[in-house]
Amino acid sequence: MVVLHFYRREDEKGSGLQRALQSCPKITIRTESCFNVEWSGTSAPSPEEREALLWLFSSPFEPELVREKPFLTPAEGERLVEIGPRLNFSTAWSTNAVSICQSVGLRAVSRIERSRRHLIQPRDGQKEKLLDGEVDSLTSILFDKMTECIYSRPIESFAVETRPQKVFQVDILGEGRAALEKANQDLGLAFDSWDLDYYTALFQRVQRNPTSVECFDLAQSNSEHSRHWFFRGRMKVDGVEKEETLFSLIMGTQQHSNKNNVIKFCDNSSGIEGREVESLFPTDPTQASAYQRLPSKRHVIFTAETHNFPTGVAPFSGATTGTGGRIRDVQSTGRGAHVIAGTAGYCFGNLLIPGHNLPWEEPGFEYPPSFARPLQVAIEASNGASDYGNKFGEPVLAGFARSFGMRLPNGERREWIKPIMFSGGVGSIEDQHVTKEGAELGMEVVKIGGPVYRIGVGGGAASSIQVQGDNSSDLDFGAVQRGDAEMEQKMNRALRACIENRAGNPVCSIHDQGAGGNGNVLKELSEPAGAVIYASRFKTGDPTLSVLEIWGAEYQESNAMLVRPADTAFLRRVCEREKCPVDFVGSVTGDGKILLVDDRDGEKGKGLEGGVEQRDRTPVDLQLDWVLGKMPQKVDRSVTGLVAQQQCVGPLHTPLADVAVVSLSPFGTVGAATAVGEQPIKGLVSSAAGARMAVAEALTNLVFARVTDLRDVKCSGNWMWAAKLPGEGAALLEACSAMCDVMAQLGVAVDGGKDSLSMAARVRDETVKAPGVLLYVPLSPGRYRLGGSALAQCFSQLGDSTPDLDHPDKLTACFQTTQSLLQDSLLSSGHDVSDGGLISCLLEMAFAGNRGIEVDLPLDGAGVLEVLFSEELGLVLEVRESVVAQVCERYRDAGLSCLTVGRTRGLGPYSMVKVSVRGQEVLCERMTSLRGLWESTSFQLERLQANPVCVQQEEEGLANRTGPNYKLTFDPAVIPSILKELGEVRPRVAVVREEGSNGDREMAASLLMAGFEVWDVTMQDLCSGTVTLDPFRGVVFVGGFSYADVLGSAKGWAATVTFNPRARAQFAAFRSREDTFSLGVCNGCQLMALLGWVGSESEDRDPKGVLLTHNQSGRFESRFVSVALLPSPALMLRGMEGSTLGVWVAHGEGYMQFRSLALLDQLDSQALAPLRYVDDSGSPTEHYPLNPNGSARGIAGLCSADGRHLAMMPHPERAVLGWQWPWAPVEMRDALVHSPWLTMFRNAAAWCLSSQ
């Protein structure tokens, strides 16, 4: 086994490199990549195999930039630094790169890791030598110490000098508690004094010593992180024991709400009663087959997760795995469920953005070295969660971010040093899959998903440390995890195939793997029956793993299932088709024990015979009741096509939505609404008021979506509190009691949630506590209290009296009245008064509408600041003048005050904001100037995340925006006459997807609506020969991230077509037929460009004339943009010419790089670039963000000369329904009943029928 090296010259412009250059202006840095390829073949690669590897690593336009010798060699006075991933486990990047190699026949490639080689040189004219300290300081900026390291020499082997740790016995019988204390320290178990006493006594009672693996197992399974002891334990306050636990208080809220829960407090997610909807089901999920529209009853499910400690240590990877874990919570509900959309929230300390001083931030605060700084968390955590959601294919629709750090008057410091990374998820579940089946004798224990890696070891215990910073930083790093969204998506597809199987779901029960790893999830799965598990049956990604690590590592993208033996063949076929690993690791025994057999010496799963001493072969042999008996058991916003409301509103797509809404099906308007309430700063003044205000905020956000009934609203209560520190437990009890009391009055209830009670961090000798946070995902007239307000924070104060929910009955009346007004279409827009007070609410509505306002607030009894900045509950509504009296009367009839305070004035960049209080003008300014101030900190953060030039363009352009200028030149309601006569025989189209594709379902729904017979076809189906393209009139290549785009956008997909003989022949034959058409969207567009189906100069020479590369902004872009349709031969766009339409984009590599200017001119002159990004005047633009990727002349799509093949980066399939458009002008909304984009799919169907 050898490691081959392939070097590629790079023009790297990453943020780390830019920061390094800024920190040391006297140097320059040149960069190359090195692809380190582990080759396990018995002989060196053949010339053909080397050619394939060079093709994979090179750009089609610049193949000379890749070779097998380095481009960079240091001269005297220069330093070469090579940085790459740590070698103890394969990266997700490697997993996907190897998968590409396997698909093209390079079977001897077993691992590929990409390293970066930086040549650090003195800048021209600099004569000073580079000092070692300077180089070390520069290098520290260039890499993440958690996941990367410096290579002292080129990699010669991926083997690491690690020997598996042997299992040992902890001698409690001989040494008593002292032996367990030593194991506690050595293994990082986080046992507290009570745990040590309890387990010492337990093993003394049963007269045996535990093994090291059993101690680790008990620590993980029984950690606060896993078992939530605090919430279920009896509390003493001032020496008096409280009658109810926190958990019983929370469950008590159920008594006052409607009984619409189908799942509560007993599964990975909570669920509420849904509706009968029509959904897509494949005829046979084990092979290529047609989709059917079938009715089914689907319930709405919701879950929430926090991933605070890992995000504090390594923000990007911590947030990725937090997102992945929460997605698995949705997947693993009942007997399997559907993932729809996510929400996200972040709390961190003072940002201290360089060059952007905020007067309330304290620059002198210290931070522990084992935690990332707040600015790094703000940037990298949001990047990590976005990256994972994008690649998996889950849109993020709502959320929040909050920065806080302050020295209180009593000298105590409050700051989120250990950050909050909150992730919520909405999904759906079939009615027949709500209840898990119990474990039965003989059932197979199955692990599905990625292999075992030495990562996340001890995460459950590490997250339960009372004060972070008290434990070893090495153990902190050991608890960090590795996310692989591609693997999670493969697992999701395999699970979806099971739950959509019309012959019956083979999954009896499913649990997600999280804290505690296999040890925890397999006990939960098999409890109370018990199971035997064989270590040899786990697929491992590292041969040096110990049995403790196999049992306890919290490696990601893995679920555990129970299936009956008769269903194993179905599961294997599904996993093979979706290329998802599956391991049958044991079986249910019925003896009430969990037994782990270490049979990795060749006796695979044969038990304990052979004379080997049992305790050596069974490192875990525990009665389940010892462990479980007395315990409870930047972002895509359009993917799925089920998004009705995401976080951006108004003509300029301003991120101000109060509520997110999703549909359960593309064929109806039954769905779910979710909103967030969080008031941590007010909680510092009064825990009870903060809790009540958080409930109220969630409801005043939710009120702007039509819901069935207030009493149908259920909440997920999520608790981030340093509750184990003196006085904080009592404060949490006060908050929890207040929340439960007000919920009882309102008729809403909690049905699930998570907690993190280790929200404190150690900085030297000072413990810094985070504000108590109560997060909920689905209003008090009169007073002007400023405690806990944004205004107080700006002056580094908290205040002594905070707004509160003084009259819950008024909130109920307000909610119900607002809902009735929405039902009667009497409200144009609305916003809740929250952070920043009434003035912020008014301004935010102006910013979102791109309008001026003129307001006079006739509010007596308070000064100007109190009137403007008090965050008392309330709503601001925009209504038509003709219905003002009617709306006011409805609120007054409900016992509420309703005042006329102003009106909108003007539109666009010259509109004004005028605000008066009791007739005295207090603000008169251009709306755009105020919006610039409001956006300033966000733009500063964006400069650290994206290309500063693009950010500057957006910031300057925003001041001059008027809004999209949509235009329709055709009637979308007109259906081609030939489609009106459709019978049983419909034109057949294949929706082709590759590993990592995620846009297939919304594409299939659009094609079905247009009149096609739609088939689900994978590249695996084509490569294996189980299906051909011969019966199909059309193929559609869908969006997503094939192979996570690790070697370039759609490069792996194109490699499969290019090097797999079957696939290559199928594609060539299909393209040559004159009765076929094709469409490529996003990743499919990138594929068609690489294959030369569009953008080619001529088919006689190299057909690849256009290459799609990274957006000029340097980041993934998800926006609703304006696209003009130009005259062209494209058959799908016939009759649509001259229109300008809104459409979603969601891509990271959409910049069209043409082989030559002459080719670009040729394509333009031949009308082969029919789609253009346009500005507010309707002119093609290269200006960001109107053009999200910077492509020349605003080109957004290309077609072939005969018009049969169309490739486009925008997603028309996510805008075929009117409710999928986030905004449209009033005069166009009636036309959106039939979205204009559905016409292009109908055009294709009509063409197929007319050209038979």
Instruction: Give pLDDT, residue 433.
Output: 94
Q: Which of 1082, 1085, 1199, 1248 is catalytic?
A: 1082
Instruction: Give pLDDT, residue 778.
Output: 25
Please return the burial class of 381, using the count of CB atoms within 10 Å of its CB with bins 0-12, 13-18 and 19+.
buried
Instruction: Name the strand (E) or helix (H) holding 723.
Output: none
Distance (Å, whole) CA 458 – CA 475:
8
Question: By the 8 A CB rule, do 336 and 501 touch?
Answer: no
Instruction: Name the strand (E) or helix (H) holding 769.
Output: strand 766-769
Q: Pick out the chain residues at pLDDT < 50.
A: 224-229, 458-475, 603-613, 628-633, 755-778
Question: By the 8 A CB rule, do 512 and 328 touch?
Answer: yes
DSSP for 10-45 reads: E----HHHHHHHHH-TTEEEEEEEEEEEEE-SSSPP
Instruction: Name the strand (E) or helix (H) holding 90.
Output: none
Instruction: Give pLDDT, residue 271.
Output: 86
Instruction: Name the strand (E) or helix (H) holding 537.
Output: none
Distance (Å, whole) CA 6 – CA 901:
68
Instruction: Give pLDDT, residue 246.
Output: 64
CATH topology for 808-940 is: Phosphoribosyl-aminoimidazole Synthetase; Chain A, domain 2 (3.90.650)
Please return the burial class of 581, using the count of CB atoms within 10 Å of its CB with bins 0-12, 13-18 and 19+.
middle
Question: By the 8 A CB rule, do 451 and 541 touch?
Answer: yes
225 tagged catalytic: no
* Torsion over CA: 95, 101, 105, 110 (sign): negative
Q: How many CB atoms lie within 10 A of CB 910?
A: 12
Triad 884, 885, 891: Cα angle to 5°: 90
Question: By the 8 A CB rule, do 803 and 742 touch?
Answer: no
Please compute, for residue 822, the number of CA atoms within 13 A of its CA located in the half-sphere on the CB side: 16
**Using H for helix, E for strand and C for coil, what is the string for 450-479?**
CCECCCCECHHHHCCCCCECCCCHHHHHHC
Instruction: Give pLDDT, residue 603.
Output: 47
**Using H for helix, E for strand and C for coil, what is the string for 1144-1185?**
EEEECCCEEEECCHHHHHHHHHCCCCCEEEECCCCCECCCCC
Instruction: Give pLDDT, residue 1009.
Output: 93
Question: By the 8 A CB rule, do 854 and 905 touch?
Answer: yes
1082 tagged catalytic: yes
Instruction: Give pLDDT, residue 1225.
Output: 85
Instruction: Give pLDDT, residue 845.
Output: 86
**Under DSSP, is residue 1052 helix (H, G, I), strand (E, B) or coil?**
helix
Q: How far apart are the first and last CA of the chain?
A: 56
**Under DSSP, is residue 4 helix (H, G, I), strand (E, B) or coil?**
strand
DSSP for 238-295 reads: TTEE-SS-HHHHHHHGGGGS-S-EEE-SSSSSEEEEEEEEEEEEES-TTSSEEEEEEE
**Under DSSP, is residue 219 helix (H, G, I), strand (E, B) or coil?**
helix
Backbone angles phi, psi at 1187, to 5 degrees: -105, 110
Backbone angles phi, psi at 822, to 5 degrees: -65, -45
Could you tell me whether strands 988-993 and 1013-1018 are parallel, antiparallel, or unpaired per DSSP bridges?
A: parallel
1213 tagged catalytic: yes
- Whether domain 181-243+439-632 has CATH 3.90.650.10: yes
- 749-756, strands of its sheet edge to edge: 749-756, 714-720, 773-776
Instruction: Give pLDDT, residue 1252.
Output: 72
**Using H for helix, E for strand and C for coil, what is the string for 962-981?**
CCCCCECCCCCCCCCHHHHH
Instruction: Give pLDDT, residue 149.
Output: 86
CATH topology for 244-435+652-778 is: 60s Ribosomal Protein L30; Chain: A; (3.30.1330)
Going from N- to C-terminal start, the domains of the chain cover 2-151, 181-243+439-632, 244-435+652-778, 808-940, 987-1250
Q: Which of 338, 653, 1211, 1234 is catalytic?
A: 1211
Q: Do domains 181-243+439-632 and 808-940 have the same CATH topology?
A: yes
Which whole-number Å values give the CA distances from 64 to 47, 55, 104, 113, 321, in the listed order? 17, 11, 22, 21, 38
Structure-block tokens of residue 940: 């500063």
CATH number of the structural domain 987-1250? 3.40.50.880
